[in-house]
Amino acid sequence: MTSPAETSFQFRHQVFTFHPYHEGMVPILSSELREHYRHHGWLLVDDALEISVDELRAEVDEIASWDESGEWLHHFEMTDRGRQLARTENFTPFSPRLRELLGAGTISRIASELLGEEALLYKEKINYKLAGGAGFSPHQDKPAYPFVDVVLSVMVAVDDATVENGCLYVASGWHHDLLDQDERGCLSPAVVEHLDWRPAPLRAGQTLFFHALTPHRSGPNSSTRDRRALYPTYNGVSEGDLRDAYYAAKIEAFQHPDEGDRVRLSLIGDFEGRPA
C-alpha cells in the first residue's frame, strides 16, 4: 500500500453561518474545511444540530420505546447486563422531528456541499451502544450500501463519545479506494495492521461527516454510561432516491436468520455483539 501523508487526528472546529445549499449560493463551509474533508476523508462540525441535545435525546428515547412490531427496525444484542437494544433503523417516516432534521436541515445542507450536489437521505440509524454494548470491527461503510456509488456517512453524537464508552477510531486519508476485506466484509487483518488509527471523541451535539470509504472502528462500551449516536447516510441526487430500494433489500436479506456468532445489524458483519 502507498501511505497517505502523515496527519495527526485533530478536529477542526468553527462556528458557521448557515445558508440553504444550492448552486450559486455562498458556501456553508470555508474552502479550508472543504479541503480538509477532501484530504482526510472526515470533518467535524460543532453546530450543525438545529435542536438542543436534550430535544435530540428525547426523540431518541421515544424511538427506543417503540415496540418491535412496527415498520421500523429494532435490533438487539445480548450483553453481560442482559438483552439490550443495539440499533434502530427506518424511523424517519414515523418521527417528523428527525425527518425534518435529517432531510431538510443543516446536516443535509452540509452533506450536499461535501457531495457537490443536493444530498438525499439514503438510510438512517441510531446506534445505541448502551453500557456493556459491543463494538464494531474495522470496516468501510461502502460495502454495506448497494445501489449507490458515492456515499457520505454522518455521526451525530447523542451522548458524549469517549474512548471508555466506545468512540470511533478513524484512519485518515484512506477514503479513495475500497481496501482488502475479510469474509465478513470488514477490513482484512493486514490492512488493519497497516493503518494509523486515531480516536475520535465527540461531545454530545457534535456532528462528524465522513466518506463511506473512510476506515473506522469502535470498541465496546466498557463504561457505565451509554454512547448513543444518530447516523444519517446520504447520496447525491444524481444517483436518485434510493432509500426505499435499500430498505427493501435489507428487509429481504434479513428474512433469512443468521446462525453466526454475531448479531446481524448490517449487510456486512462488522458488529461484534452476541445474538440476543
pLDDT tens-digit series, residues 97-136: 999 999 999 999 999 999 999 999 999 999 999 999 999 9
Range name among 24-28, 159-163, 265-269 with the lowest pLDDT average = 24-28
Lookup result for grid cell 462488522: 270
Q: Is residue 23 part of a domain?
A: no
* Per-residue pLDDT, 20: 39
Lookup result for grid cell 418491535: 68
The domain that contains 76 carries what CATH number? 2.60.120.620
Summarised one tens digit per residue, pLDDT across range 234-272 is 999 999 999 999 999 999 999 876 668 899 999 999 999
Q: Is residue 273 part of a domain?
A: no
In degrees and rounded to multiples of 5, residue 222 shows phi and psi of: -95, 10
Summarised one tens digit per residue, pLDDT across range 45-55 is 998 999 999 99
- Please state the pTM of the whole predicted model: 0.90
Q: Which domain holds residue 153?
A: 40-253
Q: Is residue 3 part of a domain?
A: no
Q: Is residue 73 part of a domain?
A: yes
* Per-residue pLDDT, 23: 53
CB atoms within 10 A of CB 9: 15
Based on the number of CB atoms within 10 Å of its own CB, is 6 exposed (0-12), middle (13-18) or buried (19 or more)?
A: exposed
Q: Is residue 57 part of a domain?
A: yes
CB atoms within 10 A of CB 22: 10
Lookup result for grid cell 469474509: 183
Q: Is residue 25 part of a domain?
A: no
* Per-residue pLDDT, 258: 67
Average pLDDT over the chain, rounded to an integer: 90
Q: Is residue 176 part of a domain?
A: yes
Cell, residue 100: 425534518
Q: Is residue 271 part of a domain?
A: no
Spatial CA neighbour of 218 closest among 234, 203, 232, 200: 200
Q: How many domains does the chain have?
A: 1
